[in-house]
Structure 1
């Protein structure tokens, strides 16, 4: 603690080590120096005393670790937290029935907001608060001060959020989790909440106002069933034709772009077998410097240049395929995020595009491989057939000219 400031942690340590004699008096076991410091602070600081509302019954008591003292404990300042006798006292506050207080301590079973492991009552209380939150989102508005939910269906219908500690035991935590799961997702979130509101109105229509919320607590499974059935009915009539038409148009463009990567080099591919024939038929076996040697050199250089240009074109098209693949991946990610409920309807189309890209990559790889093999074959044929030092002949021609 700093200066004369009391924190909830300071009070919680005291509460946990108290045995209450009555509503205001408790026997406190001093188990740490922190408790000693807190007690001394409330004895010397008016501010700390008023915030904690704790006082020693015996001013002469020895404040040492291991000793016990009798203290008077009142209600701490509301900004620090709530100290209540039992669960019913906690639930007497309308605010505590609408949301869990950030800090509280229950004397009867020493439950507090940070209790671990969770007790059964704390788990059921939090499940009930989760149910209240879901219902509040579906209601026309939620009155926190008076703890009631207001719906409208031709007339104003109120659901007072009233329940006791004993009625907390009727909540089914697993069903509340299923209800929350049924309402998850950004797609049609408003429609889901509308379906929940309709389900609530149908269930409470025959109940007295005072018992409506308790009835909902006891029938969360019915809420889950009605929400799921209602959403399935809504989804069956939901038209996704616009999404599909836009997606198919985009995918058609992708198909055209993918095929273009092959058609752009298709003319060069047709020349590939012709070039191989030309190389095979045009290479001679010169023994002296002359036109035949120059022709061999020209054929080899031309074949290698053609192979290099074709490989460069394939690399360029490969990079284009990579760019298209990234765009498709981005669109798939966006669809999965924005339309998770219907993403399975379009998975096949995306898989088909990925398959086309993979096929074109295989074709590009084979073309590059054939170019390398063809260029190697040409060079090897030139070396086998030519028994003349071509460089000397070319230099000789240059000096002669």
Structure 2
């Protein structure tokens, strides 16, 4: 019959029933007077030979094959299998495990000298460690690289700054939880200035830790959270001082003026051709002559003159159509560029998005107006051409 995997939570319940608990030679030792039948059954299961590899335990006193209520056992528990959890004599030993220190993997643990376990969120060590894990997670967004395997945060500025997630129990207990939570909130806030806050945070960390030994950098950061917050606040004040609605509005106005000129150019580029519409499509109709009134060579000659006139008008309409379509494509590109600039400003300054909308609405409306104008030009051109064509046919069909 396969043995059951006993969770660390049940094992810790047994540890807490032991008296005179001490840590000797890498093992948790103590005495246990079996209080009830449930504990006797559990101890018998735990001391079964099939569990020896997973839960190594030396029975210094007592009969593991005959566990009864009231029996006294002197037990020395070794380190359980890693997948089950960690048993550490003190916080310093626990934090030497980089996965536990950084929170990159979920691991159950129990610290003997403080009698605290990872699943007890109301206890001091689990609570503080959870805050540090959240702080590390918040710093991930500010770093250039987060090496989860080696529990290391990497910042790239003028050079490379490695910050291994290493600290001891003294640093953990000295960490200001309130400031840590405040910084976590600031770094996770998404209001359009997230990138700027991350950049300010990374700069503050690099300035604060660049002169420290690599293995002590994270500990210095945790000890100096008040200094770190002040550096962050000072940096953000400088950013806020350089930011104003007027500057952003001037930037948006510059975009409006630039693209307004480009939009107007879509018409000015074909302005000369627009003046030729009535000449080449309607006025030409007056150049046709009725071939029915002519005979012989004069009749044939006039027919070819009429054909040449209508052919010229047709060629003009083709070229004007191509020019109008080209300007339409130019408008399409300009509208895409306007939309790109609008989104960029909104992402950087989401809090004043509504106040910038009117500037871009004007540009969009002007582009739409010009687009309608191009379609009107296209329509007039071809309506006038077909009017001329109908006149041509009425005066020239007798020659065919």
TM band (smaller chain): 0.5 to 0.7
The higher-RCO structure (CA 8 Å, 6+ apart) is 2
Which of 363, 370, 391 is equivalent to 2:373?
A: 363
CA distance in 2, matches of 1:255, 1:231: 35
Report whether the alignment pairs 1:185 with 2:194.
yes
Which of 223, 232, 241 is equivalent to 1:236?
A: 241
User: What is the aligned-residue RMSD (CA, Å)?
Assistant: 6.0
Shift of 1:335: 6.0
| Offset from partner CA, 1:282-321 (integer Å, 9 cap, x none) | 3455536626555543443333222222111111222233
CA distance 1:370–1:93, shift in 2 (3 Å) = same
CA distance in 2, matches of 1:238, 1:101: 37
> For the Cα contact (< 8 Å) 1:105–1:111, is it kept in 2?
yes
CA distance in 1, matches of 2:41, 2:195: 52
Question: Counterpart in 1 of 2:152?
Answer: none
* Residue pairs, 1:288-367, within 5 angstroms: 290=299, 293-330=303-340, 339=348, 344=353, 352-367=362-377
> For the Cα contact (< 8 Å) 1:82–1:103, is it kept in 2?
no
- 1:161 aligns to what SS in structure 2? helix
- 1:104 aligns to what SS in structure 2? coil
TM-score by length of 2: 0.54
CA distance in 1, matches of 2:358, 2:304: 57
CA distance in 2, matches of 1:191, 1:245: 25
CA distance 1:214–1:146, shift in 2 (3 Å) = closer
* Residue pairs, 1:203-218, within 5 angstroms: none
> For the Cα contact (< 8 Å) 2:8–2:84, is it kept in 1?
no
CA distance 1:142–1:263, shift in 2 (3 Å) = closer
Question: Counterpart in 1 of 2:131?
Answer: 127
Question: Counterpart in 2 of 1:264?
Answer: 269
CA distance 1:316–1:302, shift in 2 (3 Å) = same
TM-score by length of 1: 0.54
Question: Counterpart in 2 of 1:100?
Answer: 103
Which of 50, 53, 56 is equivalent to 1:54?
A: 56
Unaligned runs of at least 5 residues, structure 2: 19-27, 33-38, 67-74, 144-160, 208-220
> For the Cα contact (< 8 Å) 2:8–2:85, is it kept in 1?
no
